[in-house]
Amino acid sequence: AKPNAAHLALAVLEKDFDVTIITQNIDDLHERAGSTNVVHLHGVITRSQSGKNPKLTYPIAGWELKMGEVCELGSQLRAHVVWFGEDVPMIETAAQICAEADIFMLVGTSLAVYPAAGLIDFVADEVVKYLIDPKIPTISSVKNVVKVEEKATVGVAKVAAILLQNN
């Protein structure tokens, strides 16, 4: 897969804004689009990690992860992703980023997958929250919501244009 218009528009915003992307996706499309500050909540498939110490990570580009491949401490390597039922190690970092946000953009989500769906609750009430999705769920408890009922490739570009124009 290649980065799409949404990935590219977010990367362009870095020229004028301090952008942090928090993603549940395990691909590296944001980085390939040019984004430099990406928090991967569920890990990233292009890396492996120690089976005993998830802080020990290694690139896996160009080779296949196999049984018997071990880290420098001798434990089996596994994909650097969060499996169902595992804790999300970056959730506290993400919550802090949301709490400090001046602008918040939520893209392509039904707000059904927790704990990530709860991150919007950490954003201050006065902060404008752009929700971009063709089917935006009702969230009556959140203030200052701007709904952009579009696919990510269209909606992110629209919001980026507004932000750049108002900057």
Active site residues: 42
- Spatial CB neighbours of 111, under 8 Å, sequence gap ≥ 6: 117, 120, 137, 139
Pick the closest to residue 135 from 109, 113, 157 (CA basis): 109
Residue 127: CA atoms inside 13 Å, Cβ hemisphere, count? Answer: 18
H or E stretch including 77? strand 77-81
Contact predicate 123/101, CB 8 Å: yes
Distance CA 115, CA 127 (A): 21
H or E stretch including 165? helix 152-166
Distance CA 98, CA 70 (A): 36
Distance CA 164, CA 1 (A): 28
